[in-house]
Amino acid sequence: MRKTTKRRAPRSEYTSPNQLSLSGFETPFYNQLAPSNRWVVLSKQIPWDDLVNMYSKRNPPKATGRPALNPRVLIGAVI
């Protein structure tokens, strides 16, 4: 008999806001949000990389199951 292997859930993909970007590859909302918007200002004040690293240490990816959400989405929902 052949042993069936479980499908692994894909890892959550997190992209640091400090990562360099290429011009011409912005999201549709990139130019629509005003820099003075209170949510944009708040998102620039939060240390996302540190929070995502702490979250990832406490909640390692599972081998099976539903794909995980982006940690930034989860942290933002709590805030």
Q: What is the pLDDT of residues 28-56, one digit of tens each?
A: 666 677 889 898 899 889 998 899 889 88
Taking the C-alpha atoms of residue 35 and residue 16, their distance in angstroms, rounded to an integer, is 19
* pTM attached to this predicted model: 0.59
Taking the C-alpha atoms of residue 73 and residue 79, their distance in angstroms, rounded to an integer, is 10
Q: What is the pLDDT of residues 13-28, one digit of tens each?
A: 677 777 776 766 666 6
Structure tokens belonging to residue 9: 């859930």
- Tokens 């949510």, residue located: 39
The answer to whether the beta carbons of residues 8 and 61 sit under 8 Å apart is no
